[in-house]
Structure 1
Amino acid sequence: MIETIIEITFYISTVVTLFIFMLPSQYVPKRNDNNNASSEPKTTVQVLVLGDIGRSPRMQYHALSIARGGGKVDIIGYHDSEVHPDISSYPDISIVPLPPHPSLLQTSNKLLFLLFGPLKVLFQVISLWWILAYRTKPAKWLLVQNPPSIPTLAIASLVCFFRQTKLVIDWHNFGYTILALKLGESHPLVRISKWYETALCRSATAHLCVTQAMASFLKKEFKLKSPILPLHDRPASHFQPITEERERLEFLLSLPQTSPVRSLVKEDKVKVIVSSTSWTPDEDFSLLIDALCRYSEISNTSKPQLPHILAIITGKGPQRDMYMERISKLQRDGRLRKVAICTAWLSTGDYARLLASASLGVSLHTSSSGVDLPMKVVDMFGSGLPVVGWGRFEAWPELVTDGVNGKGFGSSDELVEQLIDLLGNPDKLGKLRVGAQEASSYRWDDEWTPIAGKLFGLV
């Protein structure tokens, strides 16, 4: 009996000892030493994106602003596409790529997905824990993009506890409201997701969020006690209006996407509209397709003649192929005679020039929560591009002033009316463009420095 107790005690002590030795190292604040003050960063921050870094502009802007302010940054996420060109020019910004899912776990089979889905989450858990707890050095701050919240918030909270790192959550939306788009608000998994998100976010030192409406929601519904700081998206410096018509025309003619209507571009008989989409359920792309079909039908009988439309759609996402098949069928059926629709994935610089060269931007973001905002509209304003967008949610007026820099719509019929009204009346479109250019004057650093810069101790 005694030998058994001794043996059990030995095994338990061994496990406890191994656990203690394997704990992540803790963040230790640097001492104020005048001799080393110039060589040490003002702060250290890990920026975590459980997604493609290149398709997460706000988190890239955070990293750039921290580095400009004298901080050192590790930006952690999937490195699938091109990042902002300035990131590589800062020696104090390091990209730490997350490993992609094993190809074995990729499947479109719904039955296999039920098995592979949990395995993919387990793979993410292991990858996040290894990189945050061991591969990277301890940092003073961990800035996490939310959503996705599963498993990000759980791993981030645990790592911050062991490493004595301060957790800051940057709220873009809510994970449970996005899940509700697929499963319905009353689904048990949605309720569990909401409880998970609500419980784990309380471990954060502070919260940043994209709208004032979201800040109010977090305070009221999540009952958060830590500071909640609204930090609106603003355009980065590379989004600038193009004032020279010759420069705008040369860029449009250089794009492969304009080749089918190149002669119309030269004669100024086509209007370029741009919509950037993630091809997900919270952006109903059928609204734009239906509106363009109706526009094409009306334009054939209207007097004076309405201009042709070239719709350039940028972005990547799961529903892209489905919609492109539908567009191809409509083209074959002759329902898009005065409309050409094409997709593009452009470099950061070319995307900015496209926005500055287009006639009108279209936002299809419908907001699963009602309190988030599409960053694409901010980029459009930065380029002096007026916008029409889905405006039937609470936070929309925080971004767009109706009739000044854009217009909101609530159906495909309303969108058709706006396309006809604006593209057929250059003076009305020009008035909105002036408003968009005025909206572009307030930039990202103007918003970030007094809020996030102060939080991270950089000002």
Structure 2
Amino acid sequence: MRLLHLSTAGHRIPSLPLNSANPEQADGPLWRRPSAETKPHSDVLGNENIRIVPISDLKALQVGPKIFQYVVKVIAQAMQLLYTMLTIDQPSYVLLQNPPGLPSIAVAWVACLVWRSKLIIDWHNYGYTIMSLIHGRNHLLVQIAKWYEKLFGRLSDYNFCVTNAMKEDLWEKCNIKAVTLYDKPASYFKETPLELQHQLYMKLAKVYEPFKAQYVTESVNSSAERSAFTEMDHKNGCVIKTRGRPALLISSTSWTEDEDFSVLLKALEDYERCINEGVKLPSLVCVITGKGPLKEYYNQLIDKLYFKHIQICTPWLEAEDYPLLLGSADLGVCLHKSSSGLDLPMKVVDMFGCCLPVCAIHFECLHELVKHNENGLIFRDSNELAEQLKMLFLEFPTLEGKLHNFRRNLRASKQLRWDESWDQTVLPLFKQNE
């Protein structure tokens, strides 16, 4: 059995073949179509049952009206994708992650007709609601995209979705029957051992100032190798966390319109003001990872801030380093606001896999993932976030308080991993059709 997976991201995909938990019993490779400029995790690159077929991003045509440029680009993408798909071995199933679905859904449907393969759509969100963030819901392109998704979405053989709320919406509005397949963290999202934390900090310190040791106290071994958070004694290789270390706060983003990072920046200004007023709070290192269209805009806002006790950096991390940093952090912050109100942020799933407590901004179905006061906190604005940061980091790094309780609850939850969830929810569907 072969599976062709069409996606610009690699989260919702099994690392092993569909028909076996043992890679040695595979009938064929698992195909992926990632972005040409994003390097997948080594677990994917090193899997002999996965073949990657990259497709380069097409540059937009710079002639004529915007809508004409967009139409031409979509047509060119459709031709490029269809040609690429039909030149590879015939798969049994095509698994398409949506969005982006324009033109992928129609192209995948045509390819499945030629191959006589089954088309599966993995609904993460609606593409038209993401477009509406830029153009507005009544824009012609948005209305066309909405019609397109509903029409071609109904042509699929099977459907998965990321929340029960989306499952209900697909049925009520599109007459599409879907199975809820919650995102789960891959096995490499886990707490990072202290020695690996130190190695990561020292690596990042070569590029990013906040990870460098800021000062040396009298109690610190003068021969030790130090980062902002850890030190290693060269004599015995022992790694400890430095006294008076800053707290490490992490967020990740694609820097798009559905995440307003001014909320976090305003909360950090409030946090800084409290430290200046004498409240016993730790310094913060705030790491915002990712890349996207609004990154430069927010970097300009960050450059205008003057903080004495807070350092902010916005790196693009290697695939192997990102889970290590999540597993080393003290708190995660999520500013993802679903454009449809029906999807869940994958970044929080990954954070929970690392037993990292989260503060997440509220939207309709977030409760399906974040349990307020159990595995994290939900906030609605910058004022609420600021109060949560101050409450969680008061007397840091004491092992008492809510931050520790949240982490303990996450450890005790023993949540399913991605491969386990896939085996329980998806494999039975394929076995019915063998």
Q: Find 2:244's aligned residue among 254, 268, 271.
A: 268
Q: Find 1:446's aligned residue among 420, 423, 427.
A: 420
1:238 deviation in Å? 0.7
Which structure has the larger Rg? 1
Is 1:357 the counterpart of 2:315 in the alignment?
no
1:114 deviation in Å? 4.6
**CA contact under 8 A between 1:386 and 1:435: conserved in structure 2?**
no
Is 1:144 the counterpart of 2:119 in the alignment?
no
Task: Please give the residue correspondences for 1:240-319 in structure 2 after superposition, counting only pairs within 5 Å.
Answer: 240-242=190-192, 245=194, 248-249=197-198, 251-256=200-205, 257=208, 258-260=210-212, 262-263=214-215, 265=229, 266-303=242-279, 305-319=280-294
Q: Provide the C-alpha distance between the structure 1 equivalents of 2:66 and 2:99, rounded to a whole number of angstroms.
A: 21
Equivalenced residue count is 397
In structure 1, the residue matched to 2:11 is 58
Q: Which runs of 5+ in 1 are unaligned?
A: 1-42
Task: Please give the residue correspondences for 1:38-57 in structure 2 after superposition, counting only pairs within 5 Å.
Answer: 43-49=1-7, 51=8, 56-57=9-10
Task: Please give the residue correspondences for 1:8-407 in structure 2 after superposition, counting only pairs within 5 Å.
Answer: 43-49=1-7, 51=8, 56-59=9-12, 61-62=13-14, 64=16, 66=18, 69=21, 70=26, 72-102=29-59, 105=60, 113-132=66-85, 134-224=86-176, 227-242=177-192, 245=194, 248-249=197-198, 251-256=200-205, 257=208, 258-260=210-212, 262-263=214-215, 265=229, 266-303=242-279, 305-330=280-305, 334=306, 336-391=307-362, 393-407=363-377
1:241-295 Cα distance to aligned partner (Å, 9 max, x none): 13x5565455434422334554353333310000010000011111111111121
Q: Provide the C-alpha distance between the structure 2 equivalents of 1:179 and 1:432, rounded to a whole number of angstroms.
A: 36
1:306 deviation in Å? 1.0
1:346 deviation in Å? 1.8
Q: Provide the C-alpha distance between the structure 2 equivalents of 1:65 and 1:289, rounded to a whole number of angstroms.
A: 44
Q: Which runs of 5+ in 2 are unaligned?
A: 216-227, 230-241
Specify the code of the residue in structure 1 equivalent to 2:302. Answer: I
- Helix, strand or coil: the match of 2:385? helix
1:195 deviation in Å? 1.2
**CA contact under 8 A between 2:392 and 2:403: conserved in structure 1?**
yes
Q: Provide the C-alpha distance between the structure 2 equivalents of 1:80 and 1:64, rounded to a whole number of angstroms.
A: 24
TM-score by length of 2: 0.86
- Helix, strand or coil: the match of 2:314? strand
**CA contact under 8 A between 2:99 and 2:124: conserved in structure 1?**
yes
Identity of aligned residues (%): 36
1:299-350 Cα distance to aligned partner (Å, 9 max, x none): 21033x21111001111111001100110011xxx2x221110012222322
- Helix, strand or coil: the match of 1:154? helix
Q: Provide the C-alpha distance between the structure 1 equivalents of 2:351 and 2:116, rounded to a whole number of angstroms.
A: 40
- CA RMSD, aligned part only? 2.2
- Helix, strand or coil: the match of 2:260? coil
Going by fraction, where is helix more abundant, 1 or 2? 1
